[in-house]
């Protein structure tokens, strides 16, 4: 799955739990938080350490998209609109 996020929203930061929910990689925010706590959530193959963390422009670097992973096989793309 692929979702689009505005650069204005990224300036404030978008919570990882909300993104996992929007990408349908988790069925609830609680499940998304558990996934992060358990170490199964990644942004561009780097583990997400903070369950209340946010995705910001800094996470994109020079790219226009990042990949969010839930475990080994489920992944989704967040793209700047």
Per-residue pLDDT tens over the stretch 26-47 = 999 999 999 999 999 999 999 9
Question: How many C-beta neighbours within 10 Å does residue 2 have?
Answer: 9
**Per-residue pLDDT at 33:** 95
Strand residue runs (E) in the chain: 2-5, 14-15, 41-43, 46-47, 54-55, 65-70, 74-80
69: CB partners within 8 A, 6+ apart: 41, 42, 43, 45, 75
pTM above 0.75, yes or no: yes
For residues 54-76, give the mean pLDDT.
94
User: For the chain, what's the residue count?
Assistant: 81
- Is the separation of the CB atoms in 28 and 52 below 8 Å? no
Q: Report d(CA 70, CA 10) in Å as an integer.
A: 21
């Amino acid at each position: 799955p692929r979702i689009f996020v505005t650069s204005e929203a990224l300036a404030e930061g978008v919570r990882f739990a909300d993104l996992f929910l929007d990408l349908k990689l988790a069925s609830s925010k609680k499940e998304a938080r558990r996934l992060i706590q358990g170490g199964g959530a990644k942004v561009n193959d780097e583990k997400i350490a903070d369950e209340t963390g946010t995705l910001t422009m800094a996470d994109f670097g020079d790219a226009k998209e990042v990949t969010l992973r839930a475990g080994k096989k489920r992944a989704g793309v967040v793209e700047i609109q």
